[in-house]
Amino acid sequence: MHYKPISIEDKAIIEDFLKSQNTLVSDLTFSNLYLWHYSREISYCIYNDCLVIQTQYPNQKPFIFYPIHKNQHKESKKQTTLAVMESYKTQGLEFSIHSLSQIDKEELESLLPHTFDYIYREDRSDYIYSIPELIALKGKKYHKKKTHLNRFLERYDFSYESLDSSNCQELIKTYEEWFADNTSNEGLKNEYIGIIECLKAFSLLSFKGGIIRVNGKIIAFSFGEPLNEDTIVIHIEKADIQYQGAYQVINREFLAREWQSYTYVNREEDLGIEGLRKAKQSYQPLFLQKKFDAILKPTN
């Protein structure tokens, strides 16, 4: 099996497979793959009419996502999984599948029963929210968020802009200036590279973006894209924390201006980081989109 490292030229091929999936899993968009392929090796192959995406972090073993078939043909997915397992075995690699949804986990178990152990990955599970609720911020549970938002509205005269060719270069320059003092953290550095490269390729990718300005200065931005017919995913949300409430305003305005026709928003995982977990929980998720890793059962 030959895996090809992803590039912008592969977008149409990969999205043709991904659009057939009614998924809630944030990993499965081309923009997300493109964003992170600068910090890890992400490649793909097409086998048995299935898309197989393989990821390998530096100094770690590779893994795949569950094979994707445009028509959900289960036997093709089964045979593809078996072929990848055999390929890994031949190379002396441990085989595993990451970011399985509950539905895909159950399907895999039905196709290859008693083959895998499944590990629930709470740190990788996605937070799903109501878009109308995050726009309105009504009720006691959103009181703190509404307070931060109101303080921002009282203090600042802001404007919102959709990201486009007229402001993309300015946003790149602004974010480069923001990041100048944060070069020591490897994770943030990888994210920064991915954000800059996605913005450079904005006209070729499928995401929408939004910008908040105060006195003409960019102080917050966000970008995301559809996951399925009623759900979008927010890949990136950044703000200048000197402006209290900036995160609340970009969150609300981006949803209100760009995504009102959708019902749900996936704000991705917390990676097991306590501060990130508290921040995501504070927005009152409807539920977690659970993800699982599948690893081969030990053989006697």
CATH number for the domain harbouring residue 31: 3.40.630.30
Does 95 reside within a domain? yes
Confidence of residue 230 (pLDDT cuts 50, 70, 90): very high
Residue 207, domain member (yes or no): yes
- Give 262-291 pLDDT, tens digit per residue: 999 999 999 999 999 999 999 999 999 999
Rounded-to-integer distance, Cα 15 and Cα 260, Å? 23
245: alpha, beta or left, given left = phi > 0 and alpha = psi -120 to 50?
Answer: left
- Beta strand 96-100 with 63-65: parallel, antiparallel or unpaired? parallel
Residues 49 and 147 in one domain: no
- Tally of domains in the chain: 2
Buried b (16+ CB within 10 A) or exposed e, 125-138: bbbbbebebbbebe
Over residues 144-192, the pLDDT tens digits come to 999 999 999 999 999 999 999 999 999 999 999 998 866 667 888 899 9
User: Is-contact 42 33, C-beta < 8 A?
Assistant: yes
Is residue 80 in some structural domain?
Answer: yes
The overall pTM is greater than 0.85: yes
Q: Based on the fold, state whether residues 112 and 131 are members of the same structural domain.
A: no
Domain membership of residue 275 (yes or no) is no
pLDDT for residue 21? 87
Q: What span, in angstroms and rounded, lies between the C-alpha atoms of 27 and 167?
A: 27
Residue 137 CA to residue 284 CA, distance in Å, equals 10
Summarize the confidence of residues 101-127 as an average pLDDT. 97
Kindly state whether residues 263 and 138 are assigned to the same domain.
yes
* pLDDT for 173: 97
91 and 149 share one domain? no
Q: Write the burial class of residue 48 (CB in 10 Å: 0-12 exposed, 13-18 middle, 19+ buried).
A: middle
Identify the three-state secondary structure at position 210. strand
Is the domain of 134 the same as that of 246?
yes
Co-location of 132 and 34 in the same domain: no
285 within some domain: no
Check residue 51 and give its pLDDT. 98
H or E stretch covering 104: helix 102-111
Quick one: what percent of the chain has pLDDT higher than 70? 98
**Residue 49 within any structural domain of the chain:** yes
Residue 23 included in any domain: yes
Same domain (yes/no): 232, 202:
yes
299 — pLDDT class (breaks 50, 70, 90): confident
Q: Are residues 65 and 197 in the same domain?
A: no
* 103 and 185 together in one domain: no
Does pLDDT of 16 surpass 70? yes
Residues 70 and 103 in one domain: yes
pLDDT at 57 over 70: yes
Instruction: Verify that 131 and 259 share a domain, yes or no.
Output: yes
Residue 68 structural domain: 4-125+291-296
Query: Beta-carbon neighbour count of residue 95 at 10 Å?
Result: 20
**How much is the pLDDT for 184?**
66
Specify the pLDDT at position 6: 97
Residues 96 and 162 in one domain: no
pLDDT of residue 300: 64
Q: What is the DSSP string of 147-200?
A: HHHHHHHHH--EEEEE--TTTHHHHHHHHHHHHTT-TT-HHHHHHHHHHHHHHH
Strands 231-239 and 68-69, how do they pair? unpaired
In a domain, 44, yes or no: yes
Q: What is the mean pLDDT of the chain?
A: 95
